[in-house]
Structure 1
Amino acid sequence: MQLYNTLSAKERAELLENAGEERLTLSFYQYAKIGNTTIFRNHLFIAWDQMEVLGRIYVASEGINAQLSVPATRFNEFKEFLDGISFLKDVRLNIAIEHDLKSFLKLKVKIRNKIVADGLNDDTFDVTNKGVHVAAEDFNQLLEDPDTILVDMRNHYESEIGHFKGAITPDVDTFRDSLDIIEEDLKDHKEDKKLVMYCTGGIRCEKASAYYKHKGFKQVYQLEGGIIEYARQVENKGLENKFIGKNFVFDHRRGERITNDVIANCHQCGAPCDTHVNCENEACHLLFIQCESCASKMQNTCSDECLEIIQLPQEEQKRLRQGIPNSNKIFKKGRSEKLKFKK
C-alpha cells in the first residue's frame, strides 16, 4: 500500500510540463469530529494519489483543511469522492481565479493536532458555534454600516500585499497571536458593534467567529469563502470590489491578483512591489517581497550573506547546513533585520 510520493518535486514538475493538461487549484475545509485520523488520512492519500491529485492537506480530530491541485478532467471524480464522505458532501470548494500547473508538486496528507493552530486550551469552546456567514453582496452592505468593525484575520505578510478598504489589519505573525489582541482592542464593543471578519478561504474566520461568540461578542459575521470566493462573486455578479491588491495564497504562486493596485514595497529597495519570494539560500529560505531589479542584483537572495553562500559549490552549502536547524528567519516572513524596508 503506497502512502508516500514516488516522484521528487523536480520530476513531478517535468512530468506536468510535458503532459500539458489543465489543472485546477482549489481549497476547502470542514470542521467535523474525526474519530480515527490515521485511517482517514490513509483513505484520502490512496484515493487522491490514484486521481493524480497534488496538494497539502491537514487532518485533525476537529476536521480537515486542504489546498489542492486537481486534473481538470478528473474534477467530477474528485467531487464524487468528497460527496461520498458524509461530512464533506456538498462542501464548498474555493476554486482559484488563476491556475498554475505547478501550484503543488507533491501530495502531502498530514495529521495535526488542529487544522488551524490557535493556541487555545478551552474545553468549553465549541468551534461549531460559528458566526453568520455572508456572501459578497451582503458583505459589501455590512461594510457601509457605520456600526461595522471589519477585521483581517490573516497575518501581517498577507495583509501587507492586499486587504479590504478600511479593515483593521493586526500586525501579527500567527493566527493565535491575533485572537487575544483583537478581543482586547474591541472589548468595549461586544454589545453595540457588528464584528465582521475575513481571511483567505474562510477557515480562520470560522474558528475566530466561534471564539468571539464564546467571548461574548453578540453580532459576529464572517465572509463566506473568504477573499477567494469574494473575488469570484464580484466578477460573476458585477459587484463593487472593495478589496485592493493581491490575495496571498499558500501554494507556489504565493499570490493571486485581485486588483492592479500595488500597495506594498520591495523589502530591499523600497520600490512598489507585491511579489513574495523565498530566499535562494536553502539554509535561509526567508519569505520576503523582492522586485525584479533586486532579484537580478541579489540573485534571488535576501542579503549579502546569503548571496555569498549560494556562490559556493552545492556540496559546500550542504556541509554548512549540516546539523544546523532551520533559520529562525524563516518564520519572520519579512521581518528579518537583513531587510532594509521591512514592515
Structure 2
Amino acid sequence: MSEFSTRILDWYDAHARQLPWRVSPQARRRGVMPDPYRVWLSEVMLQQTTIPHGIRYFLRFTELWPTVEDLARADREDVMREWAGLGYYARARNLYACAQLVSSQGGFPRVASELKKLPGIGPYTAGAIASIAFDERVAAVDGNVERVMTRFLAIDTPLPKAKQVVAEALEPRLPDHRFGDFTQALMDLGATICTPRGPACLTCPLSDDCAAHAAGREEAFPVKAPKKPKPVRHGIVKLIHNGKHMAIERRPDKGLLAGMNGLPTSDWNVIGEGEPIPEPDSTDQGKYLGRVEHVFTHFKLFLDVYEEQRTAPLDGLTTPLSSLGEAGLPSVFAKAANLLVT
C-alpha cells in the first residue's frame, strides 16, 4: 500500500467513530461485513444533515423498517411523514423508489457503476456504498474527503470543479485492500481532525506531508467559488383550526416538498432585487401571528402567518392541534405552526 493509505488506515484502526450503521475495523477483520441497506440509508440521510441529527432518523427508520424489503412494502405516506424534518424531500421520494427497485431485484448491486443507476444515487453515494458494503476499490468523494485532499495537495481549483481533481488524485492513493475502511477513515479524518475551522493538525496522520499545513494556510482550502445571492420569495400561510384540529393539505406529487403534508399557502412570489417584502395585511387574511423565514437550496422564503379560527367542523385533511409534531410537516410549515402553539 502507499504510505498515504497506510497512515490513514493505521489512524482509523485507533480512532474510528462508532456509528449505528458501521462495522468497526476490528469486526471487519473477523469477516463481518456491513449491511448495504444500512449503509445506503445512512448515506442518503446524511446528505446535507449532521450526524447527530441523522442518527435519530436512522434509528427510527431501521426500527420501523429493518430491511430494504420492509421499506419497499411500507406506505409511501408513512415514509414521507417519518422523513419530515430532514429536508430535501426529493431524497425521501427517491429513497422509497429505490427501495422498491432494489427489493424487486433481490438486493443491491455490488459495484458503483450499477449502483449509480438506482434512483437518488449519484457518484459519491455509489462509491460509498460499493466500497463500504462490498469492498470495491473505488473512490468516494464527499465534503470531508474534499477538504482533506485539497489541503493535503493544496489544490486551488474552486469547488465544485475540484471534486473531479480530488477523485483523480485519490485514485493512485487507494490501498490494495480494506477499501471500505479507507473510505470511512477519510470521512472520519475530515469530520474530526481536518475540520473546516481550527483543524487539529498536530494529531493528523498526514500533517508531515500536508502542503496546506506546511504553508500555514489550512483554512484557505478547499477554495470555494463565490456564492451567488439567493433569490427571495414571499407568501402567506394560514393556520385554519377549530380549537381542536388544524386543516392541512397534501402537496402535489411534483415540485417543491412534493407529496408532503403542508398548510394552506399562497403562491410564493419572487421579490425583485432591492424590492421590499410586502407588509402584512390582516384585513383580509385573519389574525396576523408573525413572519417566518426559511432557506431552501435555491431561494430564501418569507411567509406571513395568519390564524383563522372556525366553529364549524373542518373539511378535508386535518391533524389534532395537540399532536402537530406528529403530522409530518416539513420544517417551513412547522415553523409557521409553532407561532400558534407557542
User: Would you say same fold, with TM above 0.5?
Assistant: no
If the length of structure 2 is used for normalisation, what is the TM-score? 0.26
Q: Which has the higher contact order (CA 8 A, sep 6+)?
A: 2
Larger proportion of strand = 1
Larger Rg: 2
